[in-house]
Amino acid sequence: MPRSLAREQDILHRRAPKRPPRLTSRRIGIHTSSAGGVQNAAERAYRLGCNTFQIFSSSPRQWAPYELGELQCAQMNRLREKYNLKPLVIHTNYLVNLASSNELFLHKSMEGFRGEIERALSLLPNIWSCIPVHFVGPTASRGCCVRPLQSPRQPKVLILRKVV
């Protein structure tokens, strides 16, 4: 059986730490992989000594949607609580462009963005970082804004970034 460097380097294939990372007043985190299920991202962050983490809710470079199950979301939230992992930051797919002039690409972008919103609502992140519009040419001078997302459970922040 050929050896996989990615498999050998995955922190989940090592023993869990005997004690949690030392807590500090600063939040130190990493962009973790959600391979094998989104709940694994929380476990990876903890095992790497982090107290916060960021994930993509689906593949950042392809249109294929990723459906999150209730069990995955519940397990992710349980691990976040158990390990005091906060805030959770979700970064959206890089392909989404709601300003596209190509009709097919615009349709895919709208569907992809809808999926991103649905996954964010399932995971209840503290911060949702997205770049839904990529301006090109004369429209590049138009800006984006930052708006809070309201939730009965906890405050959220929606970060819209302008990419030129």
| Model confidence pTM above 0.75 | no
State pLDDT tens for residues 72-121: 999 999 999 999 999 999 988 888 888 888 889 888 988 998 898 888 88
State the chain's mean pLDDT as an integer.
Answer: 77
Q: What is the pLDDT of residue 7?
A: 52
Domain architecture of the chain: domains with CATH: 26-160 (3.20.20.150)
C-alpha distances (whole Å) from 108 to each of 24, 64, 98, 102, 112 are 42, 10, 9, 10, 6
Length of the chain: 164
Q: What is the pLDDT of residue 80?
A: 94
Mean pLDDT across 17-39: 82
Say whether pLDDT at 10 is over 50: yes
Residue at 29: amino acid letter: G
Burial class (CB in 10 A: 0-12, 13-18, 19+), 119: buried
